[in-house]
Structure 1
Amino acid sequence: MRIDLGDDEPPEISLIALIDCIFFLLMFFMVATSFKHQADGRPLKELPITLPESAVSLDPATAAPDVVAIGVDAKGGVYWGRERVTQLVLRERLHAVAARNHDQAIRIDGDMQAPYQEIVHLMDLCQFEGLTRIAMRARDGR
């Protein structure tokens, strides 16, 4: 004997669940294809960018004479003026400068091919010592 439980509803596909699945697959493929690799198969560790030139740059003759210049070469080497220094020596010198004058101006001269992380590390060191007047030097694009 069959028991009647009321009207039978026809089965239907839930569009909300289908849209969620399609959205999940779309996000998966977008994220999976965004990982780029170098030609030899290694993932990129730095952005392949060329830093822009400045249309207007200060003439070194008109710049403030008491600016501390810190340079970064293309391989990440750090220079105090024209003298190559280690990270430990750089930190000691920045500490000494900050002890004399917290308003001391610092100029970072970075090579166009310098790793951006090195520039950020220098800025962090300066700010850690309390030196906040930090400027970046750019090439004159004219």
Structure 2
Amino acid sequence: MNLRPRRREDPEINLTPLIDVVFLMLIFFMVSTTFLRESDLQVSLPEASTEVTAEENAPVELTINRQGSFFINGEALVNSRPETLRRALEDAIGAREAASVRVVVRADAESAHRLVVRALDAAGQVGLRRVGIATIPVEE
């Protein structure tokens, strides 16, 4: 009979299964991830195929005609300077809170892009945040 106390072996932690699981997860995420190529993006003009539903508060209509004249709710502005446009927008929103007022920019297709940017800039300076650009539906 062997009366000597047995020496216990120290427990080992086998890391092989853990490493295998980590590598499988890494492969899964690499395969399922979508990589975008930012350089392949092309800019094209938007088309609108849906209509916007009407809300309770009537929006402020800012119209730009082909000659570059501005109109707010059908009334012509004296000139197309940014200060005049900003004051006219402030008058159009009146006592309403600027953040809740909708503005619809109706620019002629042949009007200069700088005029649309000027209108959007003036709306931002007044505090208008709900700005949309009117389009015509695409005929299929």
Q: Give the alignment's TM-score, normalised by structure 1.
A: 0.55
Q: Secondary structure at the match of 1:114?
A: coil
Provide closer, same or farther for how the CA distance between residues 138 and 92 of structure 1 changes in structure 2, counting only shifts above 3 A: same
Query: Shift of residue 99 of structure 1?
Result: 5.0
Q: 2:85: which partner in 1?
A: 90
- Structure 2 gaps, min length 5: 1-43
Across the aligned residues of Structure 1 and Structure 2, the Cα RMSD in angstroms comes to 2.3
Equivalent residue, structure 2, for 1:135:
132
| Residues 74-130 of structure 1, C-alpha deviations (whole Å, 9 max, x = no match) | 111111122211345532231232752121000000100010000000000000011
Does the CA-based 8 Å contact 1:71-1:79 persist in structure 2?
A: yes
Q: 1:54 to 1:100 in 2, by over 3 A?
A: same
* Gap regions ≥5 residues in structure 1: 1-50
- Letter of the 1:121 counterpart: R
What percentage of residue pairs aligned between the two structures are identical?
A: 19
> Matches of 1:125 and 1:98 in 2, distance apart?
16
Task: Choose the corresponding residue for 1:63, options 25, 42, 54.
Answer: 54
Alignment of structure 1 residues 53-132 onto 2, 5 Å: 54-58=47-51, 62-64=53-55, 65-86=57-78, 87=80, 88-96=83-91, 97=93, 100-102=96-98, 103-132=100-129
Q: Give the TM-score of the pair, scaled to structure 2.
A: 0.55
Amino acid at match of 2:109: M
Number of residue-to-residue matches in the alignment: 90
**Contact kept? 1:98, 1:129, Cα under 8 Å:** no
Counterparts of 2:74 and 2:132, CA distance in 1: 18
* Paired residues of 2:59 and 2:104 also in contact (CA < 8 A): yes
Amino acid at match of 1:101: E
Task: Mark the structure with the bigger radius of gyration.
Answer: 2
